Amino acid sequence: MLATIILAVAIVVLILTYLRGRYNENYWRKRGTVFYKRNKTFGPLLEFMTGERPLFQVFNELYWRYENEPVVGMGSLDSPVLYVKDPTNIQFITQTNFQNFSHRGITVLEEDYLANNVLFLHGPKWKVIRQKLTPIFTTTKLKNMFYIIDKSAQDFVEHLKQHPEKLKGDTYEHLSHFCTAALAAAVFGITTKSTFDSPFREMARQALTPTLFSNIRFAINSVSDKLFAALRLKFFKDQEGFFIGAIKEVLKQRRTDSTVRHDFIDLCIDLQKSGPMVDNESGYSVEPTDEVMAAQAFFFFLAGIDPTTAGMFGPLYELGRHPEIQKRVQDEVDAIFEKYGGKLTYDAVLELKFTECVLNEGLRLHPPIGFNTRQCVEDSVLPVGNVPVEKGTKIFMPFYELHHDPKYFPEPDRFDPDRFARGEVSDMTYMPFGIGKRLCIGARYARMQILTAIAHILRNYTLVTHIKEGGVRYRKEQFQVRLDNCDIELVPRQL
């Protein structure tokens, strides 16, 4: 009897899966859009779930398979899903017609406190919180915070000098430790040296390391909002107690301390003193409770670790492969240190023009994030292809593929920092930190942190890249582009 029931259920599921796949294909055909047929029900997400490739590489195959198509329809369990490839359409979604595509495309439960942050949120709550957080990344604020950025980089170099065994092997992990320490200092005001082996590092590792369950949760969120909500899935359940508790404790201590540190906690306290956060246009308000502030601090901390680490590793990896370019960076860095009396300042880092070109080119070849997501909130029509997009449609947009498309970047696989000095780059096809009104809010901070770290590292070390047997690969990740099967050796310089 039980076997009969199981068989009957399996047959029903297969029939429903088949019918949903047919519906998806017909839906996009009626709209004149090519459809990805490899899996008509779950689309590329099934290949990601069952394979060993990161999701951006699955999309990479789709990008080139339909090279001349502006968009590609994909399978899903409920809302339509569209892969948008054309830069003009991407600009339409992220900038020109942003109001119709303002949703990140990620479903978040109200009780998932840490996920209610400026990255995942949408609608009026997202708008008012982003408005209030944006001032922390103005030029004046970054100048005030630079002492934290510079101290973190100095501490990292000192840490390497005290642990020479870390100069060869697992460099990505060591850079990740540095980013954790630097962000703990910027967000929580914690001394960077004490953070290299702190609980913050372990909690960040748990939240960021992909697991079978986290991949399944991500796939469900991508193909079915309804199923995700019905299962009451939370993104950061295991980290909730630690981070909310940590933020509350830091806020409590800092309210009685008059010292101005110019860090994220200072901003949180200022916002709480000012009362409800209000959008002047709509009148929508959000109470800046400790939980709301904890979610934003958690986002700033967590979102800054792996993307910043990847954003740093890529340029360093390329410098270790191109000694002639590395020599130009070292010469520029040495000259700046000598000009400013052996120290770095905010203005000194801005003078590292060629080093910045190296960073930009490294981010082009190895963007921290492989693609972007949105969800349509009002019916629209994409200009290229005249593609109708209904409210609720989820959208994926490539970063990695645009950065590697010869139509936009001649010799796309060649490491050529001077292409940025020559002005051969368009904002429509170069977007390592996103684009438009949902551009990464901490992009300027991340760039300053990476440039400062590169300057201190290249001042003290020469890089040698080692590629292991089998060649460079990418680790299986949901959003991130993470180089694997390679490493960077740091050889002390004799100054």
The token pair that represents 406 in the structure block = 């010869």
Query: Interior CA angle at 362 toward 357 and 365, to 5°?
Result: 125
The token pair that represents 217 in the structure block = 């949760």
Task: Quote the percentage of the chain above a pLDDT of 90.
Answer: 55
**CA separation for the pair 181, 187 (Å, rounded):** 10
Query: Interior CA angle at 468 toward 472 and 317, to 5°?
Result: 60
In whole angstroms, how large is the CA radius of gyration of the chain? 23
Pick the range with the lowest mean pLDDT from 4-13, 273-282, 395-404: 4-13
Element (H, E) at 226: helix 225-230
The 10s digit of each residue's pLDDT in 378-402 is 999 999 999 999 999 999 999 999 9
To the question of whether residue 376 is assigned a binding role by annotation, the answer is: no
Report how far apart, in Å, the C-alpha atoms of 139 and of each of 336, 437, 444, 445 are: 21, 18, 9, 10
Asked if residues 244 and 261 have their Cβ atoms less than 8 Å apart, the reply is: no
User: Is the pTM of the predicted complex or chain greater than 0.85?
Assistant: yes
The token pair that represents 446 in the structure block = 């991340």
Task: Quote the percentage of the chain above a pLDDT of 70.
Answer: 98
pLDDT of the residue at 197: 55
Answer whether residue 251 shows pLDDT above 90. Answer: no
Please compute the mean of the pLDDT values over residues 316-341 and round it to a whole number. Answer: 98
Binning pLDDT at 50, 70 and 90, where does residue 107 land? confident
Asked if residues 69 and 78 have their Cβ atoms less than 8 Å apart, the reply is: no
Asked if residues 408 and 429 have their Cβ atoms less than 8 Å apart, the reply is: yes
Element (H, E) at 488: strand 486-492
Please compute the mean of the pLDDT values over residues 469-480 and round it to a whole number. Answer: 93
Please compute the mean of the pLDDT values over residues 450-456 and round it to a whole number. Answer: 98
Element (H, E) at 58: helix 55-65
82 or 274: which leads in pLDDT:
82
Within 13 Å, how many C-alpha atoms sit on residue 100's CB side?
A: 17
pLDDT of the residue at 35: 96
Pick the range with the lowest mean pLDDT from 71-75, 254-258, 392-396: 254-258
pLDDT of the residue at 411: 96
pLDDT of the residue at 187: 79
Within 13 Å, how many C-alpha atoms sit on residue 253's CB side?
A: 10
Binning pLDDT at 50, 70 and 90, where does residue 487 land? very high
The 10s digit of each residue's pLDDT in 239-248 is 888 888 888 8
Q: What are the DSSP calls for 393-448, one per residue? A: -EEEEESHHHHT-TTTSSSTTS--THHHHTT---TTT--BTB-GGGS-TTHHHHHH
The 10s digit of each residue's pLDDT in 13-38 is 788 788 888 989 999 999 999 999 98
State the total domains in the chain: 1
Please compute the mean of the pLDDT values over residues 84-104 and round it to a whole number. Answer: 96
Please compute the mean of the pLDDT values over residues 407-426 and round it to a whole number. Answer: 94
The 10s digit of each residue's pLDDT in 155-180 is 999 999 999 999 998 899 999 989 98
**CA separation for the pair 333, 355 (Å, rounded):** 8
Burial class (CB in 10 A: 0-12, 13-18, 19+), 246: buried
Please compute the mean of the pLDDT values over residues 310-327 and round it to a whole number. Answer: 97
The 10s digit of each residue's pLDDT in 31-58 is 999 999 988 998 898 898 888 999 999 9
Query: Interior CA angle at 55 toward 24 and 221, to 5°?
Result: 55
Within 13 Å, how many C-alpha atoms sit on residue 340's CB side?
A: 15
Please compute the mean of the pLDDT values over residues 117-123 and round it to a whole number. Answer: 88
Q: Quote the domain boundaries for residue 164.
A: 2-492
The 10s digit of each residue's pLDDT in 180-218 is 888 888 877 776 554 455 677 777 778 778 888 888 888
Looking at the DSSP bridge assignments, the partners of residue 380 are 389
Q: What is the CATH number of the domain that holds 107?
A: 1.10.630.10
Please compute the mean of the pLDDT values over residues 342-363 and round it to a whole number. Answer: 97
Looking at the DSSP bridge assignments, the partners of residue 466 are 487
